[in-house]
Amino acid sequence: MHNQFGVYGASGHTKVILEILENSGNTITCLYDDDPDKKSLLGYAISNDQSVLQTKDMEWIIGVGNNSTRKKIAENNFLNYGKAIDDSAQISKRAQIGPGTVVMPGAVINSDTVIGIHTIINSGATVDHDCNLSDYVHISPQAALAGNVKVGEGTHIGIGACIIQGITIGKWVTVGAGAVIIKDIPDYAVVVGNPGKIIKYNRQ
């Protein structure tokens, strides 16, 4: 079924979302950004008028890659949030995906995985069976999560990172690019390297 969509935010991340929606045959009715200097993106006019957020019969996607910013927008704007799922993504019929979530080209989401709201599964990322990803998570391109991995709210898994099976990663964690995670990670930690080591904690 083809729907009408609006995208909140006009960034490079939004460009990918727009193409996902286009390729699925959806109609992009509105592109909103609160920066008055932004006028157009990929041929779409950008509105700075908040009244467009009240447009009826339209689903919204937040086109912002930063997890904390995406959460603030979602909590301050009670919109009808849809999903943007690229046609090339391989998604199990037994996976559950929350509203506002974006699944990018080539991503794989396997059986009995649960993904929360406003989460990003980026290009070529793999999320294996029985994983549980909370809200506002970002799994970067080519990152790989083995089975039964749990990821807390707001966590960012960096490009090319690997998480072995059964690992629990806390909330608002940053896993660096290419890191290999072989043990549980506590909330707010910043982890880099192979094997992954905590180098500091994000401000709580």
Active site residues: 129
Q: Are strands 197-201 and 189-192 parallel, antiparallel or unpaired?
A: antiparallel
With H, G, I as helix, E, B as strand and everything else as coil, classify residue 23: helix
Residues near 56 by Cβ (< 8 Å), separated by ≥ 6?
none
Q: Of all helices (H) and strands (E), which one includes residue 14?
A: helix 12-23
Distance separating alpha carbons of residues 61 and 102, to the nearest angstrom: 8
Distance separating alpha carbons of residues 85 and 65, to the nearest angstrom: 16
Q: What is the DSSP string of 135-175?
A: TT-EE-TT-EE-TT-EE-TT-EEPTT-EE-TT-EE-TT-EE
Residues near 45 by Cβ (< 8 Å), separated by ≥ 6?
31, 39
